[in-house]
Amino acid sequence: MATPLTPVITEFWDRPDLYTLDGYRAVGGYTALDKALKMDPDAIIGQVKDSGLRGRGGAGFPTGMKWGFVPQGDGKPHYLVVNADESEPGACKDIPIMMANPHALVEGVIIASYAIRANHAFIYIRGEVPNAIRKVAFAVRQAKEAGLIGKNILGSGFDLDVVVHSGAGAYICGEETALLDSLEGYRGQPRLKPPFPAVAGLYASPTVINNVETIANVPYIVDRGVEWFRQFGTEKSPGFKVFAVSGHVKRPGIYEAPLGITMRELLDYAGGMRDGSNVKFWIPGGSSVPMLTPEHLDLPLTYEAMAEAGTMLGTGTPMLFDQTTSVVKAVTRWLEFYKHESCGKCTPCREGTYWITGVLEKFEHGHGTEGEMETLVNLCGQIAGRSFCALGDAAATPYPAALKYFRDEFEAATHTSADEQFDPVASYVFAGAGAR
Amino acid sequence: MTITNEPGTQVAVPTELVTVIIDGVAIGVPKGTLVIRAAEMLGIEIPRFCDHPLLEPVAACRACLIEIDGVPKPQPACAQVVSDGMQVHTQYSSDVARLAQEGVMEFLLLNHPLDCPVCDKGGECPLQNQAMSIGRPESRFTEEKRTFDKPINVSAQILLDRERCVSCARCTRFADQIAGDPMLELLERGAQQQVGTADDQPFDSYFSGNTIQICPVGALTSATYRFRARPFDLVSVPTSCEHCASGCALRTDYRRSTVTRRLAWDDPQVNEEWNCDKGRFAFAYLQQGRIEWPLVRENGELRTASWPEALAVAARGLQSAGTDTAVLVGGRSTMEDAYAYSRFARVALGTDNIDFRARANSEEEREFLAAHIAGTPIKVEYADLENAPIVLLACFEPEDESPIVFLRLRKAASNASGKNVTVVSVAAGATRGLAKMNGTLIPAKPGQEAAALANLPQDIQQALAQPGAVIMVGERAASSPGTLSAAVQLSQQTGAALAWVPRRAGERGALDAGAIAGLLPGGRPISDPTARSEVAQIWGIEVSALPQQGLSGLALHDAVDAGRIRGVVVGGVELSDYPHQAAEALGKVDFIVSLENHHSAVTEMADVVLPVGVVTEKSGTFLDWEGRPRPFGQVFRDAMMGSDASVLAMLADSMGHSLPGAVNDLRAQMGRLGPWTGARATMGPTRASTTTDGVRLETWRLLLDLGVMQEGDAHLAATARPTVARMSARTAQAHGIAEAATVHGPAGSITAPVEIDDSMIDSVVWLPMNSDGSRIYRDLGAGYGDGVRLAAGTQAGGLS
């Protein structure tokens, strides 16, 4: 039997007014906040720990544990920062959440701030999505007007101010410490750790940085309890996930399902591949995770199963590509992205992405060499685990996996260009007409 | 590279040691030590570019990746703190570390132009060296390199070649963390990342040259040195800086008997690894416009003479003046030369009329120096500044007047050092330098410093009473009556140590050598019988032959002006440095002997000019402001000229006196004399502040200005700060001043653009003392604290 979808965050997305305070309240919004404010903050941290919620931004770090790292009673201000800088190729789930259900994020922000004793929270949203920024800013304003943000929230004695901040167009600012630098007004580059943000983050004070979806989960956990949450997913990957399926599928979109659902099941919900096409390769969550092939379609989409298959769940936003796609071209596009977005701070990422991209572009035009196929593997190895932050690691992942599964295409690219191997028009998702 | 633990300067704090095992060798190091430093202690060199011991770790270049047991990924040794029992494997015992380092090295060379054969850094380049030790013999990179326009000016002096840059961020971190002039920044991202400045804001820093020296590639070069020489063709000699009393250790590099560049050398106790741009770049004077032969005046004109003739004429002239003679020694003399002048005056001329203070001075200052400074051991040193609870500055602008003191105070006051030393300055306004030291202003109108010191806020007085507190007074205190007395009183009341920071490199040494009236070498009062007999014995003369207390300062000037002085020996003095009309007075002297290396106002009126050597042509010693000897050796063995001391020895010989002229003999003699241990001279009655009504002038010499030893380097001169008239908005308004101000003094006026500075107290105007368009002694006839008249200027920015 197919795993059923479990819409929670997405349950009422068909309500046109869900983005408003009234609409959100009509479906039970902000009841979790009432509960939370009557609880001991440590009990909320305990509850999130017990739920096993893992960060939905890609790394999957246990959220409750992160909150627990914040030293309490240290006399310093604490900050909550929401990482809404979603900009990875293929990742598109935080922006829809902010567009459709911004109050779930806002409610989660208030509860999380209360739990870690933060009186200031910041939502750092990718600058290229003004529509999402407007929606979240609107929700925050409504929450302020309703007394849900401000002084003495709902008579609890808890004060909170929430700032919606727009990024300025750098992927690196999704790296949490670069995000902090950017938020402080500096050029966004990752910071040396230690100290970790939980000890010295924003303005050198204890800071928790969580992904949008992670925070949006919090109200539901507080409202419905640990047991309810743990009925979804697996022991190591409890709960549900907002999966954003894209690529050559019939119905690309958001599918909220328990962790552990398989790609094949999700693909069925997405209507299968477009007519006459088959899965050639797919990535489970953003371009930063190594690609998989049809033989992996029946693996459960959990942190642990994906790791075992040599990839990562990442942001949980699978992208599927059919047989019209040139792997060489796809990998080249991804590396061009990393080259463009490398912040320049560390040598391996700055120089490595520059070099690899140059070589891949030769392959794309049919001018690669056998030797360079191995050089590229070597270069990726010189970046992975040697760069300053995860951006370099991410840049080193697409090629080795692509070579592992599609060596023949790279061999062909030593004499035939990608466009000759694969008609580019045929791979367009919006057409087919005009293809050779 | 400097290890920042300064031996002998730290109080013995028991340090907790942890044991780290590097490549199988265990070593105990203090807790908190970085792996890269621990490895250095074992003699294991790990490659590095961004790492610098005096900068905070950034771990950006990744050249120093090493393997640590139990840690999955290689870690940067420059940012990894050791822990007890940590097992570290460097490139010598770990393939992971070696391959990681090789990989980084290969990456660093991708976009580097590999133009070593034409690069200034080639031959002394960390990139070149480390590419040889850990790089691949052949490149696998065949793609196109990234290119930039080059070079670009980040200042008039500093040129940037962005293609060579490896983005180690040493220069940007230096500018921000050390100099406090964060105008250099990394811009753009990825391979396009580059060092740069804002469009309208060049790298305006007195310390900019240090970025060239710490650049691990040839990305930063100076306009002065670019393409002038290859490092392997240079001969390097350790020297000491002659430009100020900070006492920097330098390295002088020369080629074919020409100095090509000077670098900051490593002295953790003094300048750490830094120096200022004046010390680095102002050396053209060493070889340009030198006087090569003795000159004798005949029929009103100087003509070339032989040494025997010139010496004979000089001896005859001086002898005919009898004891109505005087000696003026410039503040740039080495201690040995000053000692030779001191002895020449007393023995060969038989006079005590001598002064090294070629600047504004006072009798109060002479008494202060005799009572509290001359011949005393080091009381305050650089390290003390870092450990002081508070450092109070009076009549002293460290950034301009002693830049390495400034750097140390800035380090002491910065939060990053964890020391948070409080810096307080008694001045008319909070300068840019004070802001960089996180300093607080105690406002005082020039001339009112004494009153300010006597009425300090309670909390500052309390802070000064804490152990380790320091009071620093600058040479300008001599221009503010009562200030030195007040400083002494404050020091005695609170127990704070008192340091006198002269501007010129030779002043402290000249003082200790007795080149001032009333003081024999070692701080011996000339009036003290024991002191006289000690000196007479060493000098091999009868005590009775030593002159009695003579004249100095204004009293000496007045005597000269009144025609009572008939013969003068002048060594290295710029007459325009005196606030009074020194040239006019000197014109009344019958016979002048000038020991000089360049033509000056003195040589113009001298009867005999005896050429002497510059610092590269002799060895010697400066005493820095601490009183620390800064000895240096002779750079050019085949010196064109001898030292002042050796010329004075010849002159004395012509006058029938045998005086030593060799540095070693002079040092031995000074050593035998040693410091004075008897009763010290005492200060006279406390001077009252003068009235300071009306608009008063605040002024000092900018680090880079029209000083004669800065001549000859247009690029350096172009980095000098522009002349402005600084005042508060209210002062400007009160005088109807908008964009430009005209400052009127007795001798004339100066018009300069106005810079409004609301930290300044009202009715004070600041002008640079000796800068382009503002030579205040000449143009105004006024000095520090003098009354001036303010009016709106007519020619905004119309500077000469």
Torsion angle of C-alpha atoms B304, B307, B309, B314, degrees rounded to 10 = 100
Q: What is the ipTM of this complex?
A: 0.95
Write down the mean pLDDT value for chain A: 96
Residues in A closer than 8 angstroms to B189, CB to CB, are: 170, 172, 341-344
* pLDDT computed for residue B777 by the predictor: 96
Q: Tell whether B107 lies on the interface with A, counting CB pairs under 8 A.
A: yes
Distances (CA, A) of B347 to A303, B336, B516, B658: 93, 16, 14, 10
**Quick check: B167 and A345 CB within 8 A?**
yes
A270 vs A250: CA distance, rounded Å: 6
Would you mind telling me the total number of residues written for chain A in this entry?
A: 436
Q: Do B191 and A344 touch (CB under 8 A)?
A: yes
Find which of B170, B189, B192, B194 to mutate to test the A interface (most A CBs within 10 Å of its CB): B189
Which amino acid does the sequence have at A397?
T
Residue pLDDT, tens place only, A4-42:
999 999 999 999 999 999 999 999 999 999 999 999 999
Residue B75, min C-alpha distance to chain A (Å): 8
Residue A414 scores a pLDDT above 90: yes
A348 to B193: CB separation less than 8 angstroms, yes or no:
no
pLDDT level of residue B416 (50, 70, 90 thresholds): confident
Name the band, by pLDDT with cuts 50, 70 and 90, for residue B686.
confident
Return d(Cα B99, Cα B109) in angstroms, integer: 16
Flag whether residue B186 sits within 8 Å of chain A, measured between CB atoms. Answer: yes
Contact present, B352 and B383 (Cβ < 8 Å): no
Neighbours of B306 (CB within 10 A): 11
Instruction: Residue A346: list chain B partners with CB under 8 A.
Output: 59-62
Q: For residue B553, is it left (φ>0), alpha (ψ between -120 and 50) or beta?
A: left
Task: Give the phi and the psi of residue A198 in degrees, each rounded to 5.
Answer: -60, -25
Tell me whether residue B505 is exposed, middle or buried, using C-beta atoms within 10 angstroms of its C-beta: 0 to 12, 13 to 18, 19 or more: buried
Query: Two tokens at B65?
Result: 């990746």
Interface residue B428 vs chain A (CB under 8 A): no
Predicted pLDDT of residue B7: 44
Q: Select the residue of B65, B73, B167 nearest A350 (Cβ to Cβ).
A: B167
pTM above 0.90, yes or no: yes
Show Cβ contacts of residue A378 under 8 Å, excluding neighbours closer than 6 positions. Answer: none
Q: Which residues of B touch A172 (CB under 8 A)?
A: 189
For residue B174, give how far its alpha carbon lies from the nearest alpha carbon of chain A (Å): 17
pLDDT in tens, B320-376: 999 999 999 998 899 999 999 999 999 999 999 999 999 999 999 999 999 999 999
Of B59, B110, B185, the CB nearest to A351: B110
> Can you tell me the distance from the alpha carbon of B597 to that of B609, in angstroms, rounded to the nearest whole number?
9
- Whether the CB of A339 is below 8 Å from some CB of chain B: the reply is yes
User: How close does chain B come to A170, measured CA to CA in Å?
Assistant: 9
CB contact under 8 A, A170 and B189: yes
**A355:B186 CB<8 A:** no
Q: Does B48 touch chain A (CB under 8 A)?
A: no
- Name the residue among A169, A203, A345, A391 with its Cα closest to residue B172: A345
Chain segment B141-174, per-residue pLDDT in tens? 999 999 999 999 999 999 999 999 999 999 999 9
Token pair 């002269």: residue: B502
Residue range A397-426: mean pLDDT, rounded? 96
Evaluate if residue B4 carries a pLDDT over 60. Answer: no
Q: Give yes or no for residue B688 having a pLDDT over 80.
A: no
Instruction: Give the whole-angstrom CA distance, residue B98 versus residue B131.
Output: 13
Average pLDDT over residues B27-33: 96
Joined tokens for residue A66: 């992160």
How many CB atoms lie under 10 A from the CB of residue B418? Answer: 6
Nearest C-alpha in B relative to A191 = B58
Chain A CB contacts of B191 below 8 Å: 339, 342, 344, 350-351, 353-354
In sequence order, which residues have a C-beta less than 8 Å from that of residue B465 and are 6 or more positions away? B494, B495, B496
Q: Which stretch of DSSP H or E encloses residue A421?
A: helix A418-421
Structure tokens at B697: 């002038």
* Phi, psi of B17, rounded to the nearest 5 degrees: -100, 145
Structure tokens at B466: 């804490």
* Token pair recorded at residue A108: 């989660």
Chain A 181-220, CB below 8 Å of chain B: which residues? 187, 192
At B13, the pLDDT band (50, 70, 90 cuts) reads low
Report the gap between the CA of B62 and the closest CA in chain A (Å): 7
The DSSP string of B588-616 is: T-SEEEEEESB--HHHHH-SEEEE---GG
CA-nearest residue to B139 within chain A is: A375
Q: Residue B451 — very low, low, confident or very high, per pLDDT cuts 50/70/90?
A: very high
Residue of B nearest to A391 (CA): B190
Q: Check CB contact of B473 with chain A, cutoff 8 Å.
A: no
Pick among B55, B65, B106, B166 to test the A interface (most A CBs inside 10 A):
B106
Judged by CB atoms closer than 8 Å, whether chains meet at A355 and B193 is answered as no
With CB atoms and an 8 Å threshold, state whether A348 touches B146.
Answer: no
Q: Place A310 in a pLDDT band, splitting at 50, 70 and 90.
A: very high
Tell me the pLDDT band of B15, cut-offs 50, 70 and 90: confident
CB-count burial class (<10 Å; 0-12, 13-18, 19+) for B256: exposed
Q: Do B104 and A170 touch (CB under 8 A)?
A: no
B:119-158 residues touching chain A, CB 8 A cutoff: 140-141, 143-144, 146
Judging contacts by C-beta atoms under 8 Å, the chain A residues touching residue B71 are none
Q: What is the pLDDT of residues A328-368, one digit of tens each?
A: 999 999 999 999 999 999 999 999 999 999 999 999 999 99
Work out the average pLDDT over A273-301. Answer: 96
Confidence of residue B137 (pLDDT cuts 50, 70, 90): confident
Beta bridge pairs of residue B355: B328
- Give the one of A339, A344, A347 whose C-beta lies nearest to B107's C-beta: A347
Q: Which residues of A touch B50 (CB under 8 A)?
A: none
Q: Is residue A351 less than 8 Å (CB to CB) from chain B?
A: yes
CA torsion angle A294 A300 A306 A309 (round to 10): -50
Please list the alpha-helical segments (H only) found in A58-129: 63-68, 94-100, 102-116
Question: Which tens digits make up the pLDDT trace of B168-207?
Answer: 999 999 999 999 999 999 999 999 999 999 988 999 999 9
pLDDT tens sequence across B500-532? 999 999 999 999 999 999 999 999 999 999 999
Contacts of A346 (CB under 8 A, 6+ apart): A387, A388, A389, A392, B59, B60, B61, B62
pLDDT for B8: 44
The pair of three-digit structure tokens given for residue B16, joined into one six-digit string: 């907790």
What b-and-e string marks burial along B515-528, b requiring 16 or more CB atoms within 10 Å of the CB?
bbbbbbbbbbbbeb
User: Does the distance separating the beta carbons of B107 and A351 come in below 8 Å?
Assistant: yes
- Two tokens at B109? 């060379």
Q: Does residue A280 belong to the interface with chain B, where contact is any CB pair within 8 Å? A: no
Q: Does A178 touch chain B (CB under 8 A)?
A: no
Q: Which residue of B has its CA nearest to A339?
A: B190
- CB distance from B190 to chain A under 8 Å? yes
CA gap A86, A94 in Å, rounded: 7
Contacts of B108 in chain A (CB under 8 A): 347, 351
Q: What is the mean pLDDT of residues B268-295?
A: 96
| Percent of chain B topping pLDDT 70 | 98
Residue B762 tokens read as 């009202």
Q: Three-state SS for A115? A: helix
Question: Residue A245 is which amino acid?
Answer: V
pLDDT above 70 (res B5): no
Q: Which residue has the higher pLDDT, B685 or B613?
A: B613
Arithmetic mean of pLDDT over chain B: 95
> Å from A305 to nearest chain B CA?
21
Q: Look at residue B14 in the predicted model and tell me its pLDDT.
A: 61
Triad B95, B2, B438: Cα angle to 5°: 120
Residues of A in contact with B73 (CB under 8 A): 385-386
Q: Does A359 touch chain B (CB under 8 A)?
A: yes
Q: Quick one: which of B623, B790, B620, B603 has its CA closest to B695?
A: B790
Give, in degrees to the nearest 5, the angle at Cα A246 between A242 and A247. Answer: 165
Q: How far is A101 from chain B (nearest CA, A)?
A: 34
Model confidence at B795: pLDDT above 70: no
List phi, psi (to 5°) of B344: -60, -45
Predicted confidence at residue B639, as pLDDT, reads 82
> What are B636-645's pLDDT values in tens digits?
988 879 999 9
Q: Do B193 and A350 touch (CB under 8 A)?
A: yes
Q: Which of A342, A350, A388 sits opposite B59 (nearest CB)?
A: A388
Residue B692's pLDDT band (cuts 50, 70, 90): confident
* Three-class SS state of B14: coil
Cβ partners under 8 Å of residue B664, min gap 6: none
Percent of the residues in chain A that have a pLDDT greater than 90, as a whole number? 97
Q: Report whether pLDDT(B563) > 70.
A: yes
CA–CA dist B314, B607 (Å, integer) = 8
User: CA B58 → CA A189, B68, B461, B514, distances in Å?
Assistant: 11, 19, 40, 50
pLDDT score recorded for residue A436: 63
CA atoms within 13 A on the CB side of A244: 18
Check whether the bond before A284 is cis (ω within 30° of 0).
no
* A432 confidence band (pLDDT: 50, 70, 90): low
Give chain A's end-to-end CA distance (angstroms, integer): 40
Count of A–B CB contacts within 8 Å?
A: 96
Inspect the interface and report whether the beta carbons of A192 and B73 lie closer than 8 Å: no
Q: What are A107's two structure tokens?
A: 């409610």
Interval B729-744 mean pLDDT? 96
Rounded to a whole number, what is the distance in Å from the CA of B193 to chain A's nearest CA? 6
Please state whether beta strands B695-700 and B764-768 pair in parallel, antiparallel, or not at all (unpaired).
parallel
Q: Which residue of A has its CA nearest to B50?
A: A346
Contact B104 A386 (CB under 8 A): yes
